[in-house]
Amino acid sequence: MLDNSVAQPAQKQWVDRAKGVLPGGGFGNFDPSIVIREGHGARVWDEDGKEYVDYLIGSGPMILGHDNEEVVEAIREQAGKGLTFFASNRHGIELAEAICQALQCAEKLRFVSSGGEADMFAMRLARAHTGRDLILKFEGGYHGMSSDALISVFPDRLENYPNGVPDSAGIPEQVRESIYVAPFNDPDFIRQFLDEHGERIAGVIVEPLQRLIPPEPGFLEVLREETSKHGIVLIFDEVVTGFRLAYGGGQEKYGVVPDLCTVGKIVGGGLPLAAVVGQADIMAHFDKSVVGKDRFTLQIGTLSGNPLAAVAGLKTLEILRRPDSYDRLRRNGEAIMGFLRDALDQTGVDYQIVGDPVLFDVVFTKRSVKFYRDVLKADNSLAGRFNARLRQHGIFKSPGKIYPSLALSSSDLAWTQNAIMAAAKQLSAE
């Protein structure tokens, strides 16, 4: 019997194989119909050799681009000395020092392996420190895959605040009842809600730039003021914004300092590493000798602070500290924003470019976007068609974000400009 699979494109073969062993045919992260073979600089190639300019960049970590020579060399050198030890290692300690020097809230740090894990521990620390049970988050805010986090991330059924909606099966009702949900960018709601319930709230967790939506002037300041007033731990989820909005993250960009923050993505240089960082008295709950058995927060992770990820993170942060790194990153983003405006202005469709030059996307709506429900009311079907056209023209991005990188070249930007113009013209013709 002939094996006809050899005549199939390589990508289809891998997609078919994935369907045999992976639920949904993929890793659960991204469109499983595309299988990436390799990446260099600001470009990736799929298994059929189709080339793309990459604005997904691993969902954010590859701020330097793929295959950065200095990062690869640091990984290669460490790989010859050991991949992981479970015990402490000098590179993890050096990276902890670098992160604590960079972030204003950071006096102590504990490594974990993913941003979602860091967020989970940050909420647990807030409960341990305050002796309270309830967490307040913001509708549309993403804080990983823990049960606490998966409340009203992308609800299609809208409840009256502060009631939340579980985003997944398998979340107990008592978890939903322990998470309150608020609208982002609504300081009046925060003041009123915390005046009524503040003595029961352990922590408020927020992305300082929520997915794409920037904080309105004064909003983060209100969070800081009100949480301090009620003895609540303020947590900035900086897994995305840390070392992207600025070297010191959202707390540097917006001038508001939380009690705790979480970082990930960039700090591992493309390898699995994240951390929860913050004030020494809160972080002390990880140290039984300081807080005692009853207030101790247990945290163990096989790969936490492993040396391979640590050297990749150290080299990445070193490169980001070099002159002009952030100015260049912003110039790249501003150029792409300009391409989008030039192309979409000719279509007559309603749109907003939402975010910051280092992280943004198009939302197809005429209204300003201030919180999750504004995005929900946008023309998401039009966004899907536009993204599909962009991919046809060699732009690789998530359905809701554009991540510029430092690897973008003039030819990458020219390709991007042409692809955006072609995709916009196709929208006009539909």
Q: What are 33's two structure tokens? A: 């119909």
Label residue 172 by pLDDT band (50, 70, 90): very high
pLDDT-based confidence at residue 342 (cuts at 50, 70, 90): very high
Pairing type for strands 108-112 and 179-182 reads unpaired
Kindly report, residue by residue over 289-336, the tens digit of the pLDDT.
999 999 999 999 999 999 999 999 999 999 999 999 999 999 999 999
Mean pLDDT in residue range 178-199:
97
- Of 107 and 430, more confident: 107
Residue 207: which of 272, 128, 118 has the closest Cα? 118
Question: pLDDT tens digits, residue range 17-75?
Answer: 999 999 999 999 999 999 999 999 999 999 999 999 999 999 999 999 999 999 999 99
Average pLDDT over residues 365-390: 95
pLDDT, residue 429, reads 82
Which part of the chain has CATH 3.40.640.10? Answer: 70-320
Domain 70-320 belongs in CATH node 3.90.78.10: no
How many C-beta atoms lie closer than 10 Å to residue 46's C-beta?
A: 19
By percentage, how much of the chain surpasses pLDDT 90? 96
Question: Please, what is the average pLDDT of the chain?
Answer: 96
What is the Cα–Cα distance from 73 to 197, expressed in whole angstroms? 52
**pLDDT at position 7, please?**
55
Q: What is the pLDDT of residues 147-159, one digit of tens each?
A: 999 999 999 888 9
The owner of tokens 């604005």 is 55
- The verdict on domain 34-67+326-429 having CATH code 3.40.605.10 is no
Q: What is the pLDDT of residue 3?
A: 45
Binned at pLDDT 50, 70 and 90, residue 188 comes out as very high
Give the pLDDT band of residue 171 (cuts 50, 70, 90).
very high
List, for residues 252-280, the tens digit of each pLDDT value. Answer: 999 999 999 999 999 999 999 999 999 99
Q: Which amino acid is located at 119 in the chain? A: D
pLDDT of residue 4: 42
Q: How far apart are the first and last CA of the chain?
A: 46
Residues carrying CATH 3.90.1150.10, the chain: 34-67+326-429
Q: What pLDDT does 428 receive?
A: 85
* Across 230-251, average pLDDT: 98
pLDDT band at 2 (very low <50, low <70, confident <90, very high): very low
Tell me the catalytic residues: 142, 237, 265
- Write the pLDDT tens digit of every residue in 384-417: 999 999 999 999 999 999 999 999 999 999 999 9
pLDDT at 189: 98
| For residue 162, pLDDT beyond 60 | yes
